[in-house]
Amino acid sequence: MPQRKRVLITVKTYPLPSKSYQELVCTAGVLEDGSFIRLYPVDFRYRPYWQWYKKYQWVDVDVEKNADDDRKESYRPVLTSIKPLGEPLDKKKKWAARRQYVLAQGAKSMETLWDLQQQDNVSLGIVRPKVIEDFVVEPDDLEWKPEWKVLFQQMSLFGPAQKPLEKIPSKFSYRFRCDDARCNGHKMMIEDWEVGQLYLQMRDKYGDPKVAVEKVRQKFFDQMCAPDVDTHFYVGTVLKYGSWIVLGVFWPKK
C-alpha cells in the first residue's frame, strides 16, 4: 500500500529517454528528519504543469517501495499524487532554512558512504569535500545511442507529442578529496539537470559550445566551489553499477 510522504526536493538529474515514460528523471530529496529518499521513475516534463516542483520545494507524494530497485532510499511515486507545496525555501537568509533539513543527519565522507553502502545498501548522501581540486570537462557522444534515437522516432509517430531532449556533448566531473584518512581522491561525474540546462542556455546565447562549457565551469567551479563557500555534494549511486555520482551541489556561504 502506498504511504504519504512529505519530501524536500534537493536534486533532479538530466532526463534520459524511456520506452515506457518517454523520458525519466531521478529526483532525490530529504524527509523532515533529514533522511534521504529517491523518487523514481518520474516523467517530470510530461506531468501537468501544476505538478512541476522546484529545488528546495516541499512536495506531498504517495510512494511505495520500488520492487525493481533494492537500494535503501528508493521509492516508486504514484505520479498522479505529486502535490507541490508553497514556495521553495528561501536562500537569502544564508540558506539556514535549507540547512536545517539538508544537514540534519550530518555530512559524510565518500569512504563512510562506501561502508554504509556495503552494510545497509545506502545509496544517497551528502558529502563535504575537504579539497575540491578541479572541474573536469571531457567530450561525450554528440548523439543519443542508436536504440534511443529509434525510440524517439517511434514515439514521434505513434505516441504523444515528443518534447525536444538534447544530448549534452560533454561530460562534467568533480575531482576532490574527503576529510578522511582513507581518502585517495575521487573523480565523480555530475548528473545534475542544472548542468545540462546551463550548457544549453549558454550555447544558445553565445552560439559557441566552447563558451558554453566555460560558462558551466565558471558557475559550477569558480562560483559554487569558491573559497568563501561551504560546498557540499549531493551524491547517489547508479543502480546498474553501484558506482557513485554527484547529483547536485549545496553551496551556502561560509
Q: Quick check: 15 and 44 in contact, CB under 8 A?
A: yes
Task: Please give, one letter per residue, the 3-state secondary structure of the chain.
Answer: CCEEEEEEEEEEECCEEECCCEEEEEEEEECCCCCEEEEEEECHHHCCHHHCCCCCCEEEEEEEECCCCCCCCEEEECHHHCEEECCCCCCCCCCHHHHHHHCCCCCECHHHHHHHHHHHCCCEEEECEEEEEEEEEEECCCCCCHHHHHHHHHHHHHCCCCCCCCCCCEEEEEEEEECCCCCCCEEEEECEHHHHHHHHHHHHHHCCHHHHHHHHHHHHHHHCCCCCECCEEEEEECCCCCCEEEEEEECCEC
* Rounded Cα gap, residues 110 and 131, in angstroms: 13
Task: Output the pLDDT for position 157.
Answer: 47
Range in 111-120, 161-170, 234-243 with the lowest mean pLDDT: 161-170
Question: What is the band of 148 on the pLDDT scale with cuts at 50, 70, 90?
Answer: low
Q: How is residue 89 written as a grid cell?
A: 525555501
pLDDT in tens, 180-234: 999 999 999 999 999 999 999 999 999 999 999 999 999 999 999 999 999 999 9
CATH number of 3-85: 2.40.50.140
* Rounded Cα gap, residues 49 and 248, in angstroms: 23
Packing angle, helices 193-206 and 209-217, rounded to 10? 140
Question: What is the band of 81 on the pLDDT scale with cuts at 50, 70, 90?
Answer: very high
Q: What is the model's pTM?
A: 0.93
* Rounded Cα gap, residues 220 and 174, in angstroms: 9
Domain ranges of the chain: 3-85, 107-250
Question: What is the band of 165 on the pLDDT scale with cuts at 50, 70, 90?
Answer: confident
Task: Output the pLDDT for position 54.
Answer: 95
Task: Output the pLDDT for position 252.
Answer: 93
Kindly list the distances between the CA atom of residue 24 and the CA atoms of 40, 153, 193, in Å, as whole numbers in the listed order. 8, 17, 12
State the chain's mean pLDDT as an integer.
91
